[in-house]
């Protein structure tokens, strides 16, 4: 027969095993995601910092481009997707495994970065940008560029155009802008995460385009602002809808975001926004999640993370040159997150 001491020892052992088992079970919550490179700098920080909030949750995020993020969430091979371009009605209609919600997180600038010896203050308007990417403006000393950059030593050199080679939300924002300001571009290439580029060389990811521009003299490419800053690359001021040349900054992206008309499904565009302070090539980025989660434990963990990201995580946006969601929009998005079922 067991004495009191033995019973006490067994009770302690049982409680210890229960605690260990509970910790082990919590440690098994792993969330997989894939998609946009545009927000990767802030998402990677969020994933790292959230480990301090809930050490039981781990993230495996593949920065493969928005096209890949949309594809994988549609096929149900990841717990969340990420995209800088909202899924269109046709793509959403093809999803048979449930309703996908668009959760906007932050906004940022797509900048025109360039590698041009002796030129550190380049200005470009909409027609010139479209002309370069349509292959109609091919030399740096073209009159269209020269008249906007009086005094700059523009070389008599071919423009090496760089674009994304993969399905990309950064491309979506950029081609959304080009389609908005150029009827010629809209008819010939249009907007999307992947388009048929009239000219140029491709690079994979924001990282790939950054590398191409950095290594190629007389080149121009488009990347998310933080990639240009991290690599100490020059980037152009762009003439906005109000006729002002504006630098891509946190403030000019915030000004553009403030004018955005945001519908109930949170799929919106903010390119070529009105206002003298608005930077014209700016866009939001979204996390794509199923309204009905298939795995209850993962769903619970994902919802908790989203709530943290949209409150505490948003506070980190400005330090990484992203514009946080306005308070009113943040509240609307949190209400949407509360509709996720698990």
What's the mean pLDDT in 216-231? 94
For 134-170, the pLDDT digits (tens) are 999 999 999 999 999 999 999 999 999 999 999 888 9
CA 26 to mean position of chain CA atoms: 30
Same-domain pairing of 277 and 131: yes
Same-domain pairing of 290 and 143: no
Same-domain pairing of 156 and 192: yes
Beta strands per DSSP E along 125-236: 160-164, 201-203, 219-224, 234-235
Same-domain pairing of 145 and 124: yes
CATH of the domain at 164: 3.40.190.10
Of 115, 76, 106, nearest to 231 (Cα)? 115
Give residue 7's pLDDT: 41
Give residue 104's pLDDT: 98
CB 235 within 8 A of CB 141: no
| Summary mean pLDDT of the chain | 92
Is residue 14 in some structural domain?
no
**Of 282, 302, 317, at which residue does a domain stop?**
282
CB 316 within 8 A of CB 286: no
Of 324, 329, 291, 326, nearest to 309 (Cα)? 324
Looking at the 3D structure of the chain, how many domains does it have?
A: 2
In this predicted structure, the answer to whether residue 64 has a pLDDT above a threshold of 70 is yes
Q: What are the phi and psi torsion angles at 264 (to 5°)?
A: -65, -30
Write down how long the chain is: 342
d(CA 305, CA 300): 9
Is residue 72 in some structural domain?
yes
Same-domain pairing of 92 and 156: no
Of all residues in the chain, what percent carry a pLDDT higher than 90? Answer: 88
Confidence tier at 11 by pLDDT (50, 70, 90): very low
Residue listed under structure tokens 């946190």: 250
Same-domain pairing of 294 and 313: yes
Give residue 141's pLDDT: 97
The token pair that represents 320 in the structure block: 């990484």
Is residue 25 in some structural domain?
no
Same-domain pairing of 273 and 304: no
Is residue 22 in some structural domain?
no
Q: Which one-letter DSSP state was computed for residue 86?
A: P
Give the structural domain span for 198: 109-282
Of all residues in the chain, what percent carry a pLDDT higher than 70? Answer: 92
Give residue 30's pLDDT: 97
Q: What are the phi and psi torsion angles at 23 (to 5°)?
A: -65, -40
Same-domain pairing of 177 and 260: yes
CB 57 within 8 A of CB 329: no
Same-domain pairing of 232 and 278: yes
Give residue 317's pLDDT: 96
For 65-108, the pLDDT digits (tens) are 999 999 999 999 999 999 999 999 999 999 999 999 999 999 99
Same-domain pairing of 288 and 278: no
Of 195, 164, 193, 191, nearest to 285 (Cα)? 193
CB 342 within 8 A of CB 299: yes
Is residue 154 in some structural domain?
yes
Helix (H) or strand (E) holding 112: strand 100-115
Cα atoms found within 13 Å of the Cα of residue 287, Cβ hemisphere only = 26
Give residue 9's pLDDT: 47
The token pair that represents 147 in the structure block: 């008249």
Same-domain pairing of 125 and 152: yes
Q: What are the phi and psi torsion angles at 277 (to 5°)?
A: -100, 0
**Of 266, 282, 298, at which residue does a domain stop?**
282
Give residue 27's pLDDT: 57
What's the mean pLDDT in 109-125? 96
Range with the poorest average pLDDT among 17-31, 95-109, 242-256, 307-321: 17-31
What's the mean pLDDT in 176-191? 98
Is residue 24 in some structural domain?
no
**Of 239, 260, 282, at which residue does a domain stop?**
282
């Amino acid at each position: 027969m067991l004495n009191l001491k033995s019973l006490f020892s067994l009770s302690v052992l049982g409680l210890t095993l229960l605690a260990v088992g509970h910790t082990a079970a919590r440690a098994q919550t792993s969330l997989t995601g894939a998609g946009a490179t545009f927000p990767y700098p802030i998402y990677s920080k969020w994933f790292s910092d959230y480990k301090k909030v809930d050490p039981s949750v781990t993230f495996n995020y593949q920065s493969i481009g928005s096209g890949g993020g949309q594809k994988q969430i549609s096929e149900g091979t990841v717990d969340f997707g990420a995209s800088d371009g909202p899924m269109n009605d046709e793509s959403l209609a093809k999803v048979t495994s449930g309703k996908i919600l668009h959760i906007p997180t932050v906004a940022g600038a797509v900048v025109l970065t360039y590698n041009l010896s002796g030129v550190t203050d380049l200005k470009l308007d909409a027609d010139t940008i479209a002309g370069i990417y349509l292959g109609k403006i091919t030399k740096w000393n073209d009159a269209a560029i020269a008249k906007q950059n009086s005094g700059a030593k523009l070389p008599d050199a071919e423009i090496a155009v760089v674009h994304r080679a993969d399905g990309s939300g950064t491309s979506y924002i950029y081609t959304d802008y080009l389609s908005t300001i150029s009827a010629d571009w809209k008819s010939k290439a249009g907007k999307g995460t992947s388009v048929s580029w009239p000219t140029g060389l491709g690079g994979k990811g924001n990282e790939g385009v950054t590398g191409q521009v950095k290594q190629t003299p007389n080149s121009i490419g488009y990347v998310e602002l933080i990639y240009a800053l991290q690599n100490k690359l020059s980037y152009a001021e762009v003439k906005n809808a109000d006729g002002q040349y504006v630098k891509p900054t946190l403030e000019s992206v915030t000004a553009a975001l403030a004018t955005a008309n945001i519908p109930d499904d949170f799929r919106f565009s903010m390119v070529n926004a009105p206002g003298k302070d608005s930077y014209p090539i700016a866009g939001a980025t979204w996390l794509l999640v199923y309204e009905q989660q298939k795995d209850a434990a993962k769903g619970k963990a994902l919802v908790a993370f989203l709530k943290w990201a949209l409150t505490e995580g948003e506070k980190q946006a400005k330090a990484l040159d992203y514009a946080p969601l306005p308070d009113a929009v943040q509240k609307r998005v949190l209400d949407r997150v509360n509709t996720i079922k698990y």
